[in-house]
């Protein structure tokens, strides 16, 4: 079928995209190569479509399908979307992606090369023509282009060549794709999804969550957009969740189970109702976590997978909890984060906790007892603050203490109350002993970035302190704002404020932090400390963790990379990933940015981005099954290759 006819089919509703397809993920280089290949007459592959009845076809977008048989694209979405975007000058109605990938494509009549618009290079050069404009005007517009070119005498002798090249460019519309069809009454959604995955064995396939969502969308086409609207709202509030994560909460509400397969037999009305309830309870959980604990943005929201369990608990109680029950649930949430409850097999531990709730009628004491059984005592010890980096498990604990106890800013003397300062860019991590001075004195990276050397201050205060030594700026703070240092758990002995006493300072501050943490936990238990006690203290290790995010700058770089991956149409990875011993649950390392189930969830190998890390850590991550990348450039190249099956057939 000719490309022009395929585009007409899309416009009149005879061809569309199945609901289970992911969005558009191509970049400009792939679009450029596709047009270069078509112009040169190179093969660009065939299309695979699912021919099915329009009345039962679950399709992407809000376009109306034509009556009768409709062709749903199983293989070829990226190519057809790119062609539609350039030739029509707008995305198709089923589009879900970044339209800049096919906007402003130019063709050079002299070199016969395609490139995207570059103002300095192309603005005053008539030989660079707008491909979309040519396609829109067609043969009737060639005369106008020729007139413009003729104004330069150097072009007059080559007008014939240029006209031939414009006609060849227009001829792309007449190129034909071979189309293979999947059809027949036996081609159920399950069968078609299996065919889709096998055809896309090197490309974007469907995870278990995608498959569950595909089945849901077959009966409720608006499901994906409805869920994305909630995810976008939470993202605007500083919380970054995935579709799979939200679907997990829907699953726990509706089935009381973690595994997605339990959703397959549910009907659309029940799922729609469960989604409404799950979203409402997630809002409640986030409000409790943010308002009571002060964990008000994504980077300090440890234990995300505890929330689906909280959602199930809230749903069983109509979403309403008294103050004591609320605080006990939050106590459990904090404990799951501190000890990495969901750092291992997420589904298994969610199912175990859901089973305890269901078997005991929602007895939170039993849920907490399960933690104590696996962990020992739940009381915080100074050694638990031994870890380092922004990614450490106790980093959110330090932030929580700052918010809950209303620790005071050192520049203004004002308490840093919950939600007072909004987003993280207005409340910054401050190195009490400046990094530059510690490195000058010969301290190691893990010591320099120790948790006990962190506190949270306003941005202005952080900048005003700069890299001064504590022995220089502490006395001024004490004079201007008496008690502000103590509110941030600073040892009051001035002898500890000197660089040479740094290690002693850390030990003294760990004592104060542990005392403050236990006091906060006791307030959540309303002073019933029996749940804190155990036969032994929670595990403490003196071993310095491998890896870790040393600064906010590094964290922002990783977040930018994560955002770029999302723009390519893939799920975001996990920043500051908790790499644990599978037998004991003990934290072994902090991996900068990982996709434990692959960038294409469950379908490609686990990958890790490790910036500036040691050979020992890279070896450990590799042994654990991760494919490791030590630069953002190398990782981006890898991600781009995941969409290469279609890009490859369009290669020059």
Q: What is the largest CA-CA distance in the chain?
A: 94
Q: Measured between alpha carbons, how far is 438 from 459 in angstroms, rounded to an integer?
A: 22
3-class DSSP assignment, residue 186:
coil
The pLDDT assigned to 475 comes to 96
User: Would you state the pLDDT for residue 651?
Assistant: 28
DSSP string, 268-320: HHHHHHHHHHHHHHHHHHHHHHHHHH---SGGG---GGGHHHHHHHHHHTTT-
Cα separation, 101 vs 84, in Å, equals 12
Token readout for 617 is: 């850590």
Helix (H, G, I), strand (E, B) or coil at 461: helix
Give me the residues paired with residue 70 across strands.
52
Q: In the structure encoding, which two tokens stand for residue 548, read together?
A: 């870790």
Q: How far apart are CA 385 and CA 407, in angstroms?
A: 18
Number of helices (H) and strands (E), helices first, in the chain? 28, 14
Separation between Cα atoms, residue 25 and residue 29, nearest integer Å: 12
DSSP per residue over 432-450, as a string? SS-HHHHHHTT--HHHHTB
Task: Say how many C-beta atoms besides its own lie within 10 A of residue 421's C-beta.
Answer: 19
Sheet strands (E) in 27-124: 47-53, 69-75, 105-108, 114-116
Question: What are the residue ranges in the chain where pLDDT is below 50?
Answer: 201-202, 419-425, 535, 644-652
Q: How many CB atoms lie within 10 A of CB 55?
A: 9
Task: Please list the residues that pair with 15 across neighbouring strands.
Answer: 71
**Residues 228 and 287: beta-carbon distance below 8 Å:** no
User: Parallel, antiparallel, or unpaired: how do β-strands 179-182 and 47-53 relate?
Assistant: parallel
Tokens standing for 523?
Answer: 């307030």
Distance in angstroms (rounded) separating the CA atoms of residues 342 and 574: 13
Look up residue 288 and give its two tokens.
């409790």
Q: What residues does 108 pair with on adjacent strands?
A: 128
Please, are residues 207 and 601 in contact by the beta-carbon 8 Å criterion? yes
């Amino acid at each position: 079928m000719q490309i022009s006819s395929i585009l007409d089919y899309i416009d009149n509703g005879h061809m569309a995209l199945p609901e289970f397809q992911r969005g558009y993920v191509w970049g400009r280089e792939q679009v450029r190569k596709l047009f270069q290949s078509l112009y040169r007459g190179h093969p660009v592959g065939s299309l695979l479509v699912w021919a099915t009845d329009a009345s039962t076809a679950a399709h992407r977008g809000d376009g109306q399908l034509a009556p009768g048989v409709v062709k749903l694209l199983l293989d070829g979405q990226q190519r057809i979307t790119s062609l539609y975007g350039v030739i029509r000058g707008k995305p198709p109605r089923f589009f879900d992606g970044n339209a800049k990938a096919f906007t402003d494509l130019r063709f050079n009549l002299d070199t016969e090369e395609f490139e995207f618009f570059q103002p300095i290079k192309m603005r005053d050069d008539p030989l660079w023509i707008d491909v979309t404009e040519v396609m829109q005007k067609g043969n009737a517009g060639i005369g106008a282009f020729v007139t413009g070119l003729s104004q330069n005498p150097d072009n007059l002798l080559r007008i014939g060549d240029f006209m031939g090249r414009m006609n060849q460019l227009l001829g792309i519309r007449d190129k034909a794709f071979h189309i293979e069809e999947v059809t027949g009454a036996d081609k159920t959604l399950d069968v078609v999804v299996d065919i889709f995955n096998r055809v896309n064995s090197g490309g974007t396939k469907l995870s278990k969550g995608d498959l569950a969502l595909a089945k849901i969308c077959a009966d409720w086409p608006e499901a994906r957009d409805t869920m994305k609207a909630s995810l976008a709202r939470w993202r605007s509030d500083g919380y970054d969740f995935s579709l799979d994560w939200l679907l997990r909460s829907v699953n726990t509400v509706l089935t009381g189970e973690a595994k997605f397969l339990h959703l397959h037999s549910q009907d659309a009305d029940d799922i729609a109702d469960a989604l409404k309830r799950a979203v409402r309870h997630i809002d409640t959980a986030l409000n409790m976590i943010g308002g009571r604990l002060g964990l008000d943005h994504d980077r300090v929201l440890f234990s995300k997978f505890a929330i689906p369990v909280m959602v199930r608990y809230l749903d069983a109680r109509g979403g309403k909890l008294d103050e004591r029950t609320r605080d006990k649930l939050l106590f459990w949430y904090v404990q799951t984060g501190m000890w990495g409850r969901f750092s291992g097999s997420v589904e298994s531990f969610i199912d175990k906790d859901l089973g305890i709730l269901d078997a005991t009628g929602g007895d939170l004491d039993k849920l907490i007892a399960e933690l104590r059984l696996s962990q020992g005592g739940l009381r915080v010890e100074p050694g638990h603050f031994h870890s380092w980096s922004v990614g450490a498990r106790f980093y959110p604990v330090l932030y929580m203490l700052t918010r809950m106890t209303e620790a005071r800013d050192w520049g203004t003397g004002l308490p840093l109350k919950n939600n007072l300062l909004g987003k993280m860019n207005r409340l910054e991590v401050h190195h009490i002993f400046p990094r530059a001075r510690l490195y000058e004195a010969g301290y190691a990276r893990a010591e320099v970035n120790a948790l006990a050397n962190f506190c949270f201050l306003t941005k202005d205060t952080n900048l005003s302190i700069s890299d001064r030594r504590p022995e220089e700026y502490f006395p001024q703070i004490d004079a201007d704002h008496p008690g502000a240092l103590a509110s941030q758990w600073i040892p009051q002995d001035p002898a500890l404020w000197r660089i040479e006493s740094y290690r002693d300072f850390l030990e003294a501050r760990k004592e104060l932090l542990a005392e403050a943490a236990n006091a906060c936990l006791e307030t959540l238990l309303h002073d019933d400390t029996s749940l804190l006690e155990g036969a032994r203290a929670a595990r403490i290790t003196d071993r310095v963790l491998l890896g870790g995010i040393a600064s906010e700058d590094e964290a922002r770089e990783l977040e930018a990379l994560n955002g770029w991956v999302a723009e390519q149409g893939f799920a975001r990875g996990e920043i500051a990933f908790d790499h644990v011993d599978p037998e004991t649950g003990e934290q072994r390392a902090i991996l900068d940015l990982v996709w434990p189930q692959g960038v294409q969830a469950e379908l490609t190998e686990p990958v890790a981005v490790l910036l500036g890390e040691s050979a020992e850590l890279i070896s450990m991550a590799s042994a654990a099954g991760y494919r490791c990348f030590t630069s953002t450039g190398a990782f981006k190249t890898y991600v781009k290759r995941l969409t290469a099956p279609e890009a490859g057939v369009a290669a020059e």
